[in-house]
Structure 1
Amino acid sequence: MPTDTPQPSFVLVRPQMGENIGAAARAMWNFSLDRMRIVAPRDGWPNPNAVAMASGAGRLLDEAQLFEDIAGATGDCTFVFATTARPRDLTKPVYSPEEAMREAARRIGEGQRVAVMFGPERAGMENDDIAQANAIISVPVNPGFASLNLAQCVLLCAYEWQRASTEVTPLREEMAGTDWAEVAEVNHLARHYEETLETAGFFFPEHKADSMKLNLRNLWSRMPLTRVDVQMLHGIMRQMVRWKTHQAVAARDADKKKPD
């Protein structure tokens, strides 16, 4: 069983080589981290190459959670970081590994659930992946050689977590009777707005629709929402739809009453 120590979950997104998954497990366990989540590994799961490379950290692989997509892997979290070594055209808070793990320690000290996503070895995560995160961890690598091995990136963040978690005193933020919204709840809210706006013809012109939807998803992931916030925003959209329907019915009835 995983330890009871409060800590972030490390999410490996579409990892390609079993050896790198095993090396990531070793890097995590070096710094007492044992919450590994794996999204759609290229070579399937379980992977014997991962087990061989993990050596004394094989327990992490036995307990690793497997998911089909990022939404499932981060759905129970309240804050998600995405690691990248490349600049991105997305408006998000950007942290160094040290700053990010200090922020993770602060949030976890408040009782939040935090995840850190790591992309596949070949090219890292796509913008659609990163749009689902609340913030970016930018690793300050040599711009002329920005390729960073998966396990190296995991080791870097795990080391900074160990430093931060021993320095930060847990705090409780006054939440006025509510909790931070989980990623799954924010994703449901995002789908509600996207589907309603699609019906309303908001995503126009058609050739800009995909980028508009990406920007909207990115907006939701940047906002620190509580569960009460999410419920209110659902209610706002539902009421706007009801009002529009009421107006349409009233206009139709008024037309019927007009003399021929």
Structure 2
Amino acid sequence: MAGTDSSQPINLAPTPAIILCEPQLGENIGSAARAMANFGLWDLRLVSPRDGWPNEKAVAAASKADHVLERVTVYDTLEAAIADLTLVYATTARSRDMQKEVYGPEEASGAMAAHIAGGKKAGLLFGRERWGLLNDEVAMADAIVTLPVEAAFASLNIAQAVLLMSYEFRRTSDAGRALPFEVEHEPAPRTELVGLFEHLEGVLDQSGFFTTEVKKPSMVNNLRTALTRGRFSSQEIRTLRGVISSIDRRHERPNPNRQKPQKPGQPKD
């Protein structure tokens, strides 16, 4: 669709971050950047792009969405890419074996618009071209966003999915119909929540909680999903980590009341 007015200034108002997890093709990154620019989004984050960054094919596909490409940030891990966000949604068409809220595009966009209007940061996760997001990546999100696609042909190109969500966010924001998204406190930055995950999982590892390596990934995902649902404040996370540290120290401290096992043939006291 033609009609770009290059005399208009670029608007860099706060919008959701778009996070692409391990994108494979530069063309898809560029097309996603173009879709974002069409609807006023500009914060594009790449997690381990297969062909590296910058990418000439992305530049060609972006059709002069230069202000988006110039601000692209690249991360080695998803945890780093979402560290400064306090609301994260994962886009997926597949059902997941985890207890997470599932929203449609309008509801999710309204919640993000209200969150951002309150001075906080939000983001949308998009998966790989071939198989989307992994379960442990979805577990890092607050909720799932599912587009109303045909079940028999539900797979969307990344840029198409970014386009649809960018359009919905712009439409919701412009209409002034941001849905209420009230919390009693300021949720902690994602980096603090990841720290809680790693602290708890490390202690559970040492205590032998994960009895089999085969079941460990699903158990970790379930724990992360439950903790994410709490939307803890920074103070609550510090308290939880203090509790975990206390339990860990108690677990390591010898119990003076515990009887030592007797050696064979040793007389009783």
TM-score for both structures, normalised by structure 1: 0.89
Following TM superposition, by how much is the alpha carbon of 1:107 offset from its aligned partner in structure 2, in angstroms? 1.2
Change (3 A) 1:140 1:243: same
- Which consecutive residues of structure 2, in runs of 5 or more, have no partner in the other structure? 1-9, 261-267
- 1:40 is aligned to 2:44: no
- 1:124-143 equivalent positions in 2, closer than 5 A: 124-143=132-151
Following TM superposition, by how much is the alpha carbon of 1:172 offset from its aligned partner in structure 2, in angstroms? 9.5
Equivalent residue number for residue 108 of structure 1: 116
Following TM superposition, by how much is the alpha carbon of 1:4 offset from its aligned partner in structure 2, in angstroms? 4.5
- 1:53-72 equivalent positions in 2, closer than 5 A: 53-72=61-80
Asked if the contact 1:85/1:139 (under 8 Å) is kept, the reply is yes
Bigger-Rg structure (1/2)? 2
Asked if the contact 1:95/1:138 (under 8 Å) is kept, the reply is yes
Asked if the contact 2:12/2:42 (under 8 Å) is kept, the reply is no
Paired with 2:145 and 2:39, the residues of 1 have a C-alpha distance of: 19
Equivalent residue number for residue 221 of structure 1: 228
Q: Write the letter of the residue equivalent to 1:203.
A: F
Paired residue secondary structure (1:46) = coil
Identity of aligned residues (%): 42
Q: Write the letter of the residue equivalent to 2:161.
A: C
Equivalent residue number for residue 121 of structure 1: 129
Equivalent residue number for residue 10 of structure 1: 18
Paired with 1:49 and 1:171, the residues of 2 have a C-alpha distance of: 40
Equivalent residue number for residue 185 of structure 1: 192
Paired residue secondary structure (2:237) = helix
Following TM superposition, by how much is the alpha carbon of 1:145 offset from its aligned partner in structure 2, in angstroms? 0.9
The count of aligned residue pairs is 253
Paired with 1:14 and 1:72, the residues of 2 have a C-alpha distance of: 13
Equivalent residue number for residue 243 of structure 2: 236
Paired with 2:213 and 2:131, the residues of 1 have a C-alpha distance of: 29
Change (3 A) 1:99 1:242: same
Paired residue secondary structure (1:16) = coil
Paired with 1:138 and 1:170, the residues of 2 have a C-alpha distance of: 17
Asked if the contact 1:3/1:34 (under 8 Å) is kept, the reply is no
- Deviation sequence 1:112-165 (CA, Å, 0-9, x none): 211101111112111121111111111121111111011110010001101222
Asked if the contact 2:32/2:158 (under 8 Å) is kept, the reply is yes
Equivalent residue number for residue 263 of structure 2: none
Which stretch of the first structure deviates more once superposed, 216-225 or 153-162? 216-225
TM-score for both structures, normalised by structure 2: 0.87
Asked if the contact 1:109/1:172 (under 8 Å) is kept, the reply is no
Which stretch of the first structure deviates more once superposed, 64-73 or 108-117? 108-117
Paired with 1:194 and 1:136, the residues of 2 have a C-alpha distance of: 23
- Which consecutive residues of structure 1, in runs of 5 or more, have no partner in the other structure? none
Paired with 2:55 and 2:256, the residues of 1 have a C-alpha distance of: 63
Higher helix share: 1
Asked if the contact 1:84/1:124 (under 8 Å) is kept, the reply is yes
RMSD (CA atoms): 2.3
Following TM superposition, by how much is the alpha carbon of 1:205 offset from its aligned partner in structure 2, in angstroms? 4.3
- Deviation sequence 1:32-52 (CA, Å, 0-9, x none): 111111111111111101101
Equivalent residue number for residue 202 of structure 1: 209
Following TM superposition, by how much is the alpha carbon of 1:74 offset from its aligned partner in structure 2, in angstroms? 0.3
Paired residue secondary structure (1:10) = strand
Change (3 A) 1:195 1:250: same
